[in-house]
Structure formats: C-alpha cells, structure tokens
Structure 1
C-alpha cells in the first residue's frame, strides 16, 4: 500500500468540487491506475460513483455531506474538543506541528481541516501519519456518520482509515470511547519521505 499516494488522492477528493473538479478527478484516477485492492480500490469506487455527476450537483452533495451537520464536519478537532477553549489549544498544537516540518499552509483554512492534514501526511509521511493516527477517533466517527448518510464520500474516509495502524473501532460507541481515551502510540521510524515537491503553501 502506498499510503502517501492514498493520502494525497483523498485530499484532492475531499476538497470542495469547484471548477477544477473534472481535472482533479482525472488526475486521481490516473495516479491510482496501478494500485489494486485495499484503500485505493475504495477511492476508485468513489471516483466511479461520482464520475457522471455534474460538478454543481456534486458541490451540492458536498455541502450537504460536510457543512450541514456537525456530526459530519471535516474539522477533526470538533469531534474530540467541541466548541471549547481546549479546541483552540489543540489547533495551535497542530499548527506548531506543521511549522516544525517547515510547512506553512494557506491562512484561509483551519489546521484541522482534513484535506489539509491529508496533504501534510502525503508530503511529510512520518509526521503526517502520526498526526492522522492521533485523530483516528474523529476519522472513524466521520466515516460512520457518512455511512449513515449514505454518502459516496464514505468510501474516501474508509480508504483513509485503512491506512492507519491498529484495529478499527467496531461501532460508533467504540469510536467514541477512542475519542475519550486516544489511540495508542504508533511507530513512525523508518518511513521514507514522499518524493516530489513540497505541499501547496509550503515554505521550505
């Protein structure tokens, strides 16, 4: 499994489908054409499910999926911290993690926005994978909520969750317990950096 490739593809698929969506969709399918099975298969299934959906219609589905309910937000700290002061401290820590790797993302998005975190994981695999692992509970809760909503985006979250170590929560109650206790630590030593250019907005 090429986890950085899955993370980059998921980042592109989970970004708002604006005017660049058709080109983004083609790029993801082309990048995944040599991958078979596993998380990549879920991403390709999503691509197939939405390939004939007009961009404006898909944008409406996206808004319904992610912007109409706090149970399906792409801002991961909401699942563990809610609207509390603690969330501000968590956001500051995430931003500090980005800076520690020499990355300054665009200022118009919160650092816990999932597409942003996935791009970071694609470009800085060790640090990014550890960050995603720390937010495993939020990812699983979002995956379950999208499944309940019968959204095709559930496949994208399923692919992301399959790239993370350890067993998946069996149900929502188990995911909520994970949100309270946090995941066990993960070993990141030995992960090679993702080849290629720095992420968008990066300053190396």
Structure 2
C-alpha cells in the first residue's frame, strides 16, 4: 500500500540515500586529493560510481568538476591545486585549522581525530594529518554504520570551517568550489546564506599562535 503522505518511506529508500551519500563523500574525497597519477587513474571508477547512484545534485557537481579538471594539462592542474589549498591564503583542507588555527589547542584536536578513528577499529596511516578533509570524508563513507555516524558527526562539528572554505573557493573561482558544494549538500540542513559574513570570517581566519603542531608531535603521535 502506498502512503498518502510523505510521512513514511520504505527502508530500501533510506538505505539508498545512505549509500548515495557514502558514494558522494568517497568521490569528493578523491576529488580533493592532490591530482597525481593515482587521482587520474581512479577517475573512471569515480565516474562509474556516480553514474550508479543516478541523477543527484551533488553527484552532478562532482561529475562537472571531473569534466572540467580532466581537460586541464596535468601539470597545470597540480600547480592550481597547490595554489588554491594554501593555508597562507586562508584556504585550508585541514579542519581543525579553521577552529584552532596554529595554536596549542590544535594538537589536542588532532589527537581527538585519531582517537575517534581507533574507536571504530580504523588506524589512520595517511601521510596527511588526521583532520585532512578527504580523510574525514573517506572515514564517513567506509566501514559501516558506526564510522559513517562518527564521520558525519565530525563533519557536522567542523561544518563552519567547511562552509568558510566553500565560500573562499567560490571567491577564487576554482572548480574545487563545486566539490565543497557537493560535500555540504551531504550534511543535514541548509548551508549558510550569509555569504558576506562567511567571506569576512574566511579572510579574517582563525587565531594564530606558534607551537600548535609541536605539542602534537611532542606527544609522540605520528601522522
């Protein structure tokens, strides 16, 4: 029997939504990695996964991103990536930076990321720091319901920084802005509409204090 309202929907639909969100987050994670040979070799797999989940706004954003950047010369795209995601220009992919800046508190935040991964049976072994947005997206996309919920909680907790990065990328006019829009589309609720305030915060940036990562490394916590 079909419901006369939108109050109920089948479990399979909810599962489809969760699977589609996981695919979009995993695809976005790859899109936000440095565009090396591994990135280019995985593009067909990403396109195939996005095609499987059907027409969705976030998926269309990621497909458009791939259409755009894959037409660039590889060296030009790599140079563009390095320029765009430069913390000196207030465009960081490291989530704790947006909240803590280069302060002592950031070391504690990085430890928290690794602790959460371990609590869900996953050991962070990446070369980047554990708050690297692609790593958090991958954590939220893989490993079952527990990591998915914990990953979404991390993304929600750091959503202000993600939204500020989105606005900063829109200001630059880079194709990577579309990837951040896709990421934000997977989060509950609407994105902030006050672009002027978000831009002001993005340009002001987080607090700054030396030794932020020294304390993290001094405790013997590896990346």
Deviation at 1:22, TM superposition (A): 2.1
Q: What count of residue pairs does the alignment treat as equivalent?
A: 179
Name the CA shift for 1:150/1:69 in 2 (closer, same or farther; >3 Å): farther
Measure, in 1, the Cα distance between the counterparts of 2:119 and 2:197.
34
Measure, in 2, the Cα distance between the counterparts of 1:65 and 1:6.
22
Name the CA shift for 1:57/1:68 in 2 (closer, same or farther; >3 Å): farther
Deviation at 1:172, TM superposition (A): 4.8
Measure, in 2, the Cα distance between the counterparts of 1:174 and 1:60.
26
Alignment of 1:151 with 2:174, yes or no, is: yes
Gaps spanning 5+ residues in structure 2: where? 1-16, 207-223
Deviation at 1:70, TM superposition (A): 4.2
Deviation at 1:37, TM superposition (A): 2.5
TM-score scaled to structure 2, two decimals?
0.75
Measure, in 2, the Cα distance between the counterparts of 1:152 and 1:110.
24
Name the stretch that deviates more: 55-64 or 154-163. 55-64
What residue in structure 1 maps to residue 106 of structure 2?
A: 87
What residue in structure 2 maps to residue 200 of structure 1?
A: none
CA contact (8 A) 2:167 2:198 kept: no
What residue in structure 1 maps to residue 156 of structure 2?
A: 133
Measure, in 2, the Cα distance between the counterparts of 1:14 and 1:57.
16
What does residue range 62-101 of structure 1 map to in structure 2 within 5 Å?
Answer: 62-67=81-86, 69-101=88-120
CA contact (8 A) 1:10 1:118 kept: yes
Which structure shows the higher helix fraction? 2
CA contact (8 A) 1:66 1:74 kept: yes
Deviation at 1:28, TM superposition (A): 1.0
Measure, in 2, the Cα distance between the counterparts of 1:39 and 1:172.
24
Name the CA shift for 1:51/1:99 in 2 (closer, same or farther; >3 Å): same
TM-score scaled to structure 1, two decimals?
0.82
What is the aligned counterpart of 1:173 among 186, 190, 197? 197
Measure, in 2, the Cα distance between the counterparts of 1:95 and 1:68.
22
Measure, in 2, the Cα distance between the counterparts of 1:172 and 1:136.
17
1:78-106, Cα deviation, whole Å (9 max, x unpaired):
11111111111111111111110111111
* SS in structure 2 of the partner of residue 69 of structure 1: helix
RMSD between aligned residues: 2.0
Measure, in 2, the Cα distance between the counterparts of 1:135 and 1:73.
13
Measure, in 2, the Cα distance between the counterparts of 1:76 and 1:167.
20
* SS in structure 2 of the partner of residue 164 of structure 1: coil
What residue in structure 1 maps to residue 130 of structure 2?
A: 111
Larger Rg: 2
Gaps spanning 5+ residues in structure 1: where? 181-204
